Structure 1
Amino acid sequence: MAHDEGYLLDNRQAEAGVRFDALSELFDPSTFRHIEELGIREGWRCWEVGVGGASVPRWLAGRVGATGRVLATDIDVSWARQAASPVVEVRHHDMARDEPPAETFDLVHARLVLVHLTDRDRALQSMISVLRPGGILLIEDADPALLPLICPDERGPEQRLANKLRSAFRSLLAERGGDLAYGRKLPRLLREAGLIEVRADAFFPITSPACDLLETATVNQVRDSLIAHGYATAQEIDEHLDNVSAGRLDLATAPMISAWGRRPAA
């Protein structure tokens, strides 16, 4: 995931790899379904923005074939380098500061990127600017405010503790400039940017082993921040992680809003 200064979930932390694997298991099927339905084919040129891990550029490479191209960029490409191939170029790029690539694309895709940036409008315009006529933009971003509870079935103290920590995590995101209601805005933003044939849907799992892995890695990444800001004690965090490890919680993710539109052909 690309990030600006102060990004809460730093790719350089060891837990990032676990998070990428969990996110891949949870959301790759939905992402791939959308891209298939958008008509990806051999020879397409694709830009994967804020790539994070290697799963999406590898899949894209298999669809565009030897005559296609996949540019995979992030502010930290250490987790994506393994996707590099004659078709996939992995490049350092900071959406918050750098100019867009000097080429055009049939597909530009970003997942869980813009919600974390403070200058989201600039980043969105940057991605639209490199679409070829008729090219497609697919943005997938979370909307934590749509489902503020990580345990929607809040039936006891373990679930209440989980929801307390999730509320604290949301506060940390907001303090870093994250827009907790960004996902729902995407259809309007794409239309206002001049894209046509705009559509959107939402997906989120309510319980899955990958949700447990994602929660454990996320809490471990933000542990120090939660304690430093007075949102939770070390004892509360350890208790919550024990509850997750024991499989006693049905953990949900924030809804993932997928929105897509096409640049007019003329």
Structure 2
Amino acid sequence: MADYALANAWQQARQRLALLESELDPATQRRLLTAGVGPGWHCLEVGAGGGSIAHWLCRTVGPGGRVLATDIDTRLAAIDAPPGLELLQRDLTRDPLPAAQFDLVHTRWLLHHLPDLDAAVGRLIGALKPGGLLLIEEPDFYPVHARHTGSPPLYAQFMDALTRAVVAATGRDCYWARGLPALLARHGLDDVDAAAEVAVLRGGGPLARFYQLSGRQARQHVLDAGLINAAEYDAALALLDDPQVWAFGACTVAAWGRRPG
């Protein structure tokens, strides 16, 4: 996770993550409740970010449950944290997770930042009890480039430059999450299934402001990558303020399965 372009130490990081949480949390919570998460569950949230799901899990599992949240920087997840939330600074690329302790392991919008998907998924599965549930949610940005959407070409150019530059160190891109179900099946999980939701963005709205803040935080990183020039980049940031702009955001692919046993 060296040279991470969207670090939690940025002064507007909490606002940026809160905007993403407002977009993604309802679907994540619905999936977890459908899976049966409830009182007494032991849960691990990897890459906790702003902490919204870890905090929600604490309220959901109650005093008889357990929630451990990890991140390379836990400062934001610690803000207004509920009693009982355990926080642990961990880098999934190199630090071990507790072995075979959890009924649920969840991570969201994290794996696309990591260089080795198979190693990361193996570590996540290793933290599950036999029969425990792994839920992974990842963005696939293919809808941004769908034909005949009517969205401005500059928006698509900006999004492609931003996402490619942010994950450049992994040697991949942000167009792979459709392969998540096959990835979990390859790791031998039982009852693998998946779902996907495409986000719709309006200029000035929460999702547009999330991408705008992400673009501001990663600006120099993206320009240094040479994928877009500064004038086009700044024009795209301004475009995200325009309420007349409607476009697709990422498709969030959710895949889940259970550890055998």
Q: For the structure 1 residues 251 and 79, does the alpha-carbon distance in structure 2 shift closer, same or farther, using more than 3 Å as the test? A: farther
Query: Of residues 102, 125, 136 in structure 1, which corresponds to 2:133?
Result: 136
Aligned counterparts of 1:57 and 1:73: Cα–Cα separation in 2 = 9
Structure 1 residue 10: Cα displacement: 1.9
1:180 counterpart residue number = 174
Of 185, 196, 200, which residue of structure 2 is paired with 1:191? 185
How far apart, CA to CA, are the structure 2 residues paired with 1:249 and 1:185?
A: 30
8 Å CA contact retained: 1:107, 1:131 = yes
> Aligned residue for 2:90?
93
Q: Which residue of 1 aligns with 2:234?
A: 238
- Quick check: 1:131–1:263 contact (8 Å CA) kept in 2? yes
Distance of aligned partners of 1:174 and 1:77 in 2 relative to their CA distance in 1, 3 Å threshold: closer
For the residue of structure 1 that corresponds to 2:63, the secondary structure is coil
For 1:167, the equivalent position in structure 2 comes to: 160
Report the secondary structure of 2:247's partner residue.
coil
Aligned-partner Cα distance in 2 for 1:215–1:71:
28
Give the equivalent residue in structure 1 for 2:19. Answer: 22
Cα offset for 1:77? Answer: 0.7
What is the deviation of 1:50?
A: 0.2
Cα displacement string for residues 6-31 of structure 1 (whole angstroms, at most 9, x for unaligned residues): 32322222232222111111110000
Q: Give 1:41-60 correspondences, 5 Å limit.
A: 41-60=38-57
Structure 1 residue ranges (4+ consecutive) displaced by more than 3 angstroms after TM superposition? 83-86
Q: Structure 1: 5+ residue runs without aligned partners? A: none
Aligned 8 A contact 1:20 1:52 in 2: yes
SS of residue matched to 1:251: strand
1:1-266 → structure 2 map (5 Å cutoff)? 4-102=1-99, 104-144=101-141, 146-149=142-145, 153-154=149-150, 159-177=152-170, 178-208=172-202, 209-264=205-260, 266=261
Structure 2 residue ranges without an equivalent (≥5): none
Shift of 1:127: 0.8
CA contact 1:204–1:253 (8 Å) conserved in 2: yes
SS in 1 for 2:79: helix
| Partner Cα separation in structure 1 for residue 114 and residue 165 of structure 2 | 14
**Identical counterparts, % of pairs:** 35
- TM-score (normalizing by structure 2): 0.92
User: RMSD of the TM alignment (CA)?
Assistant: 1.9
CA distance in 2, matches of 1:236, 1:79: 32
Q: Following the alignment from structure 2 to structure 1, what is the Cα–Cα distance between the partners of residues 8 and 143?
A: 25
Post-superposition Cα deviations, 1:154-179, rounded to whole Å, max 9, x if no partner, equal 36xxx121111112123314522144
Alpha carbons of 1:152 and 1:205: their partners in 2 closer, same or farther (altered >3 Å)?
farther
**Matched residue type, 1:202:** A
Change (3 A) 1:241 1:151: farther
Judging changes above 3 Å, is the alpha-carbon distance between structure 1 residues 83 and 135 closer, same or farther for their aligned structure 2 residues? farther
Q: How far off is 1:151 after superposition?
A: 9.5
Q: Report how far residue 252 of structure 1 moved.
A: 2.4
**Residues of 2 paired with 1:48 and 1:72: CA distance?**
5
| TM-score, normalising length: structure 1 | 0.90
Assess if the C-alpha contact under 8 Å between 1:151 and 1:251 holds in 2: no
Separation in 2, partners of 1:151, 1:172: 23
